[in-house]
Amino acid sequence: MRIGELAERAGTSTRTLRYYESRGLLPSRRSPNGHRTYDEDDLRLLRQIRTLQDFGFALEETRPFVECLRAGHPAGDSCPASLAVYRRKLAELDALIDRLADVREQVGRQLAEAERAAAGTAGADRPGVDTLGAAAVPRCEMTG
């Protein structure tokens, strides 16, 4: 198949395919008339790359998976180098989740403090209202 058909079937652009080719992720084969030619294996490579990128993998992190497929393995993640990338990515995601949990906790504390402060000063700028938001009762002095 030609580059336009491959791009359409893979759900990407011809420009992206040329870029992958320049990075050595997609093979560069030419027909006798100079057109790029691709086959179903190339489509499988592209689907592997796109899936990994959808998961947040950098383009270079997809290389071991592509090389595994090119070596004739049934799946791009059936080689030791691919498994190592999975392990690194999981460690990266775990660290990110931990960091996000810390940030969430800090934001929650800030919100609670801000709400307490807002409740404590809600009526301070309105005459006749105490700090709890209730109307102040005028004091009457009895004379007698």
| Predicted pLDDT at 121 | 79
Query: How many angstroms separate the CA atoms of 89 and 51, rounded?
Result: 14
pLDDT tens digit string along 72-85? 999 999 999 999 99
Tell me what the pLDDT averaged over the chain comes to: 87
pLDDT of 132 strictly over 80: no
- What the chain holds in terms of domains, given with CATH numbers, is 3-120 (1.10.1660.10)
Can you read off the two tokens belonging to residue 62?
Answer: 């997809």
pLDDT tens digit string along 82-114? 999 999 999 999 999 999 999 999 999 999 999
The model carries a pTM of 0.70
Are the C-beta atoms of residues 25 and 62 closer than 8 Å to each other? yes
Can you read off the two tokens belonging to residue 77?
Answer: 């993640």
pLDDT tens digit string along 13-63? 999 999 999 999 999 889 899 899 999 999 999 999 999 999 999 999 999
Q: How many of the other CB atoms lie within 10 Å of CB of 21?
A: 17
